[in-house]
A = this chain, B = another copy of it.
Amino acid sequence: MADDRMTVAQLRAAMAQFVAEREWDKFHSPKNLSMGLSVEAAELMEHFLWIDNAESRTVGQDPVRRQEVADEMADIACYLLALANTLQIDLSESIANKLLKNARKYPVEQYRGRFKLDN
């Protein structure tokens, strides 16, 4: 897997180069990038719109739909990388912090197998 070798910084650099070559920084305000990301998130969601959770788990087995879903995920990732570049935010550090915060918010003993305490 390319994910095994690729650092987040390398992905950020590839995105930064793509944007710089087209002089698109002027469009890449955080407001616009957050909108673009939300639009791509909706396009991802559309693949799972009318089906049940169970059926959505089988989408990865169909090569065509798998590729379409991977493409939408890449679009989301690109906007996230572009926003990290624009705001100079360290994504890996933010993710590590968030996982720590969520580990405290959802202690294993209380949340094993449930997403809220009364379910």
Contacts and interface: CB of A to CB of B under 8 A. Distances in A.
B9 A1 contact: yes
Interface in A65-84: 66, 69-71, 73-78, 80-81, 83-84
Interface of A: 1-9, 11-12, 14-15, 18, 21-24, 26-27, 29-32, 34-39, 41-54, 56-57, 59-60, 66, 69-71, 73-78, 80-81, 83-84, 86-99, 101-103, 106, 108, 111-113, 115
A60 B47 contact: no
A73 B106 CA distance: 19
A77 B49 contact: no
Given A2-B90, A59-B87, A78-B95, 19 more contacts: A3-B7, A3-B8, A3-B9, A7-B7, A11-B92, A14-B96, A15-B95, A18-B102, A30-B59, A35-B48, A36-B49, A38-B45, A52-B52, A53-B53, A70-B94, A71-B101, A73-B89, A74-B97, A77-B94
Contacts of A49: 32, 35-36, 39
Interface of A is mostly: helix
Contacts of A70: 87, 89-90, 94, 97
